[in-house]
Amino acid sequence: MTQPTILTTDLEGVLVPEIWIAVAERTGIERLRLTTRDIPDYDELMRGRLAILREHRLTLADIQRVIGAIDPLPGAVEALGQLRQQVQVIILSDTYYEFAMPLMAKLGWPTLFCHSLDVDDQGMITAYRLRMPDSKTAAVRALRDIHFRVLAVGDSYNDVGMLAAADAGALFDPPQNVVADFPHFPVLRGYDDLLAFVERETERE
């Protein structure tokens, strides 16, 4: 019997712009432009972000207002629709449900696995709660354990574990430093490449 295929994809940088860069542009706080493309250690990155939010008294509501104005990347909605006609799609992201819901609405409510935030009664984000360590890689391994063929795409350092764990993984519009550090992954440039990658890999079943 043909093995069913699931595509796992990162969210930011693949389907929507980077949320924290949008917040940096709206607030003028340049330090918030740093992402996992710049700092591979996610805990270090998030502790720094939360410290900056406290310093500037930025609340969850302030961040949500910025996110509400973000649109998917050009062509993302159409590409996601085409992909979902070929394979099941699960978004594996290191964002938070408190951030992501407006973006999920604009993408047509795809399945999202991500994390959550602790917020105090003043609306300040006090902590982040990972659902589990290295959750993207764990999700891909679990899907393979229940006999799905898994394809994976992402753009940054925190995606390489799931790319390596998948039956086939590829980088999507990554920065050059990620390409240089992980030259064994194929590089997809744009949604036509992504659609072709999925079509090619599903034909190999």
Task: Please give the Cα distance from 109 to 75 (Å, whole number).
Answer: 16
Report residue 72: phi and psi, to 5°.
Answer: -55, 155
Decide: 205 and 3 in contact? Cβ < 8 Å. yes
| Active-site hit among 10, 94, 155, 201 | 10
| Active-site hit among 12, 18, 94, 155 | 12
12 part of the active site: yes
List beta partners, residue 187: 171
Helix pair 19-27, 60-68: axis angle to 10 deg: 100
10 part of the active site: yes
SS3 call for 127: strand
Q: What is the set of active-site residues?
A: 10, 12
